[in-house]
Amino acid sequence: MAICFGQIYFASAQKRNAAAKKDTVIDTVGSRTQKHDEQVFGNFILFAGAVLDRDKMLWNTSNYAVSDTALYKVYNMLNFSKHKIDSLQKLYPKAYYAESRPNSSIMLGIKLNPGLRNYQSSGSFKSASKYYPVYRINDNSAADLVAMGINAGNVNDYRYHVVVNDSAEIIPWSVPKLQQNYGAQKKYGFLGNYKGNGKQVIIEVVNIKDYSIRDGIVLDWRSSFKPVVTQITISNKTDFFNLNGSKNNYQYATRFDKDSGLPLDFKFRQDEIETIYIDFKNHETTVYSLYIVKELPGARPDTSFFEQTSDNTYAFNKNKYDKPGKYELLIQPVRAPFKWDATQIAHIKFKVLPSALHAKQFTIKQILPFLIAGLLTVILVFTGYYLFNKRRLRKAAQQKDIANLKLNSVRAQLNPHFMFNALTSIQNLMNQHDQEGTNHYLAKFANLTRQVLKSSGNELISLEDELRIIDDYLQMEKLRFGFNYSIEVDETISRANTEVPAMLLQPFIENAAKHGISALKTNGKIEIVIAKQNNDLIFTITDNGAGFAKAQSGDNGFGLKLSRDRVQLLNQIYKDQHIDLQINNSISGVKINIVLTNWA
């Protein structure tokens, strides 16, 4: 990627050749040069664009740096058309000019700390058909974002929003502000000053009249980009399985690192494994380099680079480890070739063992009796195992079917129970002649009923849909009782991609609203907190009521009893994802803890 300084990408032929040899970029404003591998930001505002290679007629990605005291020059620099080039070429025939253009008509620019080094990421962020540049801010400094294509005449045609860690929107879609700094001659769009402190921030801008006009920038304050391997999947000639999750992994590995989950004694024979699939935690903005260290018998250790990847799954094929010996796969964010940072490298070590060889030869007459005896033994053992396993599988399937039927029965009782309580609330409002409250409650109830019916056919729904049901229900009950409530969700949880049992929390929230705090009116409060601990989801529901009676807290409370029964049935079906329910009742309120193990 080139970096162009000044108004145009310009240099004499002699200067261009010298610059190419020294791996530098010419600053057309003066004699300043900058080496690529230094990547010092300087007193500039950086714009993403493209420059035309006139020999090959290809547009190449390029960054354009404009002095932070002469921002007005960006308009000439990023709109350097063929017509202008032809005119200048006549005046200065020995000079070289390149046609340039911005990424979009929005003309996003970024101002970072002048002393910031190595700010340019190797990856990019894909949003539909667009790719946004990524900037790493490793000194925890701030960033200013400008949009030179936005001005007083068109500012109302644009909206921007800001998302943290690809999960929480901290600034909803808003009209950009205007400002006039950095030597600009007229007002331009100002999208804010940001400081992320270890987080990743995405700023997107869109023209509301033409969605194809949109652009964005990703700012990354994270300090570590070490690859995180989430799963290693093995494909051999007959099977396909998770190395660290399968009970039968062919003894390829028996010990695993307790922190990373990577194998410590990974070994296999050279003709056994076809492909090793390595899954990474999402690293869309970071490209990884892969190196392999080979230590083969009779040869010196050899380290070689073989690939880069931005995918979340990498297929490590057997042609890279087809000889017996010791191997080590090194994975790190892209750096200069064979430059290492020990804190940013993921290591996967393994041994390839020789194929099994038969040293002794036997005649057919010698081995035939053993073959027949062995074959009969195998047939008997296999038949016995098959019959036993068939009975065991049939019994397990029957138990699971029974559990599912019971679970459906509980769900079928919970929904009418919820509907009955809601209709009772509507009746109370009607008896109070509160027509406005009744109409508002009915509207909320209709919307909530649609959501409940939509989820009724699914045992699992997304956390996002569950939160929407909870929020609508609490808004509905707040109309009647007047209490306050809050919902807090850990920002590291992906709400859309995390599944939970449908309407798991609603019966407990309903109990808190109607039996816990209804008498407190506006002094009543319900707090809902959803946290993540390792791979577990933790739901906490707290109210400040007077607690509930023993008869209600036991199995005689219909809604609570059904919810307890449902948790027990879910534990029978999802045996590796246990759900733990605890209800703590006191005179100062009720606290309910629900822990979903391995659901995150």
3-state SS class at 259: coil
Output phi, psi for 45, to 5 deg.
-115, 130
Long-range contacts of 562-571 (CB under 8 A, 24+ apart): 562/410, 562/413, 562/414, 562/417, 562/507, 563/414, 563/504, 563/507, 563/508, 565/406, 565/410, 566/407, 566/410, 566/411, 566/414, 566/501, 566/504, 567/594, 569/403, 569/406, 569/407, 569/410, 570/407, 570/501
List 100's β-bridge partners, or say none.
Answer: 51
CATH class, domain 395-596, is: alpha beta
Asked if 347 and 227 touch (Cβ cutoff 8 Å), the reply is no
Quote the tokens at residue 482: 């007047």
pTM of the model: 0.47
Long-range contacts of 453-457 (CB under 8 A, 24+ apart): 455/502, 455/503, 456/411, 456/415, 456/502
| Residue 94, pLDDT score | 57
pLDDT under 70 in the chain at which residues?
1-38, 78-98, 122, 336-337, 357-366, 393-419, 421, 455-457, 548-558
DSSP 498-527: -EEETTSSHHHHHHIIIIISGGGGGG-EEE
Asked if 148 and 130 touch (Cβ cutoff 8 Å), the reply is no
Q: Domain 229-353 carries which CATH code?
A: 2.60.40
Quote the tokens at residue 261: 């989950």
* Amino acid of residue 252: Y
Chain region(s) in the chain for CATH 3.30.565.10: 395-596
| Residue 148, pLDDT score | 94
Alpha-carbon distance of 126 to 131, in angstroms, equals 5
| Residue 556, pLDDT score | 42
| Residue 549, pLDDT score | 60
Return the sign of the alpha-carbon dihedral for residues 468, 470, 476, 478: negative
Output phi, psi for 505, to 5 deg.
-90, -25
68 burial class (0-12, 13-18, 19+ CB within 10 angstroms)? Answer: middle
| Residue 138, pLDDT score | 84
Chain region(s) in the chain for CATH 2.60.40: 229-353
